[in-house]
Amino acid sequence: VRELRPYGLSDKHIDRFCIVGDPATCVEGLRSYVHAGADHLVLNFVCPPDQKAAQVELVGSQVLPAIRK
């Protein structure tokens, strides 16, 4: 999680607004928004540019399908 510091995010911001972790952790975090009534999610991948495509693929293949169940 603290790898996000170079992107200008403070620990307080990370703890309050970010969902960070393995796919299961992200599913759990995003489901809390869905259960609260959210019907749209906006995802911003905060990672090095060379990792962004892999992160999008991982979320598309493992996280979003689990949230739809």
What is the chain's pLDDT, residue by residue, as a tens digit (69 residues)? 556 666 677 788 878 888 988 999 999 999 999 999 999 999 988 888 899 999 999 999 999 999 987
Q: State pLDDT tens for residues 15-34.
A: 888 898 899 999 999 999 99
8 A C-beta contact, residue 33 and residue 63 = no
Q: For residue 65, count CB atoms less than 10 angstroms from its CB and return exposed for 0-12, middle for 13-18, buried for 19 or more.
A: exposed
State the pTM of this model: 0.79
